[in-house]
Amino acid sequence: MGHDTAGCVGPTSIGYLGLSPCDLEGDGMRVEISVESIHGVDIAARCGADRVELCGALADGGLTPSHGLLELAVAHSKITEVHALIRPRPGDFRYTRSELAVMMRDIRAADRAGAHGFVVGVLASDGLLDTEACAALIDAAEHKPVTLHRAIDASSSPARVLDQAMELGFTRVLTSGGHRWALDGAPTIAALVTQASDRITIMACGGIRASSALQIITATGVRDIHAAVRSPVRGAEAGAVSFTGIGVPDGFDHFDTDEAEVSALCSIVDATRRGRHD
């Protein structure tokens, strides 16, 4: 999910696992970029991102993308995988039966549109996963990979939720370690990486930029990182009524994917991935 705030990074304390960049060499590292436009998909693909998480309404943390956006994103993405967020509304992750019915239809429609994977999460009243609902969504995914999104960060016990996710068959878990910034949540992320072992992928998120990516990778041991790197875009001259996006600075119109930041982030991860093999 795209909860990263445009242009922001958090504190810089590292070293929870005591890893060096050389410890992280290998071909298994992946970059996922959260996008909400075809422009963003094209940038991610051009810069070498491994996946995009396709969303609508990133200002609300990301919602299910439109069918048209998804179809065109898949058509534009020749190498980069497109994973569709399935989230019917902003707010918590406890859904009514009607909301779950919408999610089931959305995941089936996204499957037909060619999505390579899905990003979902449902919590029960006890703050743990709603295993019945999650199992139904995973089943609807027709064996395509399913990521558990940041519902784990809103849960009552991330460790127990990770156990549930592994039992249910999620492919990966997206987490900031229960904090706004991944660097603040690094101890929890590192603990989840250790708990997961090789059974499921832990993907770090939360304010990750090129300037902090290596710190987060080193501090946590994650092999996947996720970022919603956006910057404000100028629009047409405003009329009598403004429809400027939420949180957009004065003089700008909306946020969109920042190509320079995506390129820098992918370059950092690629350099770490290649390590001494150059």
Polymer length of the chain: 278
What pLDDT, on the 0 to 100 scale, is given for residue 274? Answer: 75
Examine the pLDDT at 11 and tell me if it is beyond 50: no
Q: What is the pLDDT of residues 103-142, one digit of tens each?
A: 999 999 999 999 999 999 999 999 999 999 999 999 999 9
Instruction: Give this prediction's pTM.
Output: 0.85
Q: What is the pLDDT of residues 149-187, one digit of tens each?
A: 999 999 999 999 999 999 999 999 999 999 999 999 999
Q: Hey, what are 80's tokens?
A: 């980069």
Mean pLDDT of the chain: 87
Q: Report CA-CA distances (Å) from 211 to 126, 175, 187, 229, 269.
A: 37, 19, 19, 12, 11
Name which of 277, 278, 269, 274 is nearest 48 in CA terms: 269
Give strand pairing partners of 16.
none
Examine the pLDDT at 10 and tell me if it is beyond 80: no
Q: What phi-psi label fits residue 211: left (phi over 0), alpha (psi between -120 and 50 degrees) or beta?
A: alpha
Examine the pLDDT at 23 and tell me if it is beyond 70: no
Q: What CATH topology corresponds to 21-277? A: TIM Barrel (3.20.20)
Examine the pLDDT at 242 and tell me if it is beyond 50: yes
Q: Report CA-CA distances (Å) from 175 to 10, 32, 73, 187, 243.
A: 15, 13, 25, 12, 32
Name which of 44, 80, 37 is nearest 62 in CA terms: 37
- pLDDT bucket at 5, cuts 50 / 70 / 90: very low
CA distance 260 to 266: 10
Rounded to a whole number, what is the distance in angstroms from the first to the last CA of the chain? 34
- Provide φ and ψ at 250, rounded to 5°: -55, 140
CA distance 262 to 268: 10
What pLDDT, on the 0 to 100 scale, is given for residue 174? Answer: 98
What pLDDT, on the 0 to 100 scale, is given for residue 63? Answer: 97
- pLDDT bucket at 230, cuts 50 / 70 / 90: confident
CA distance 187 to 183: 8
CA distance 49 to 44: 5
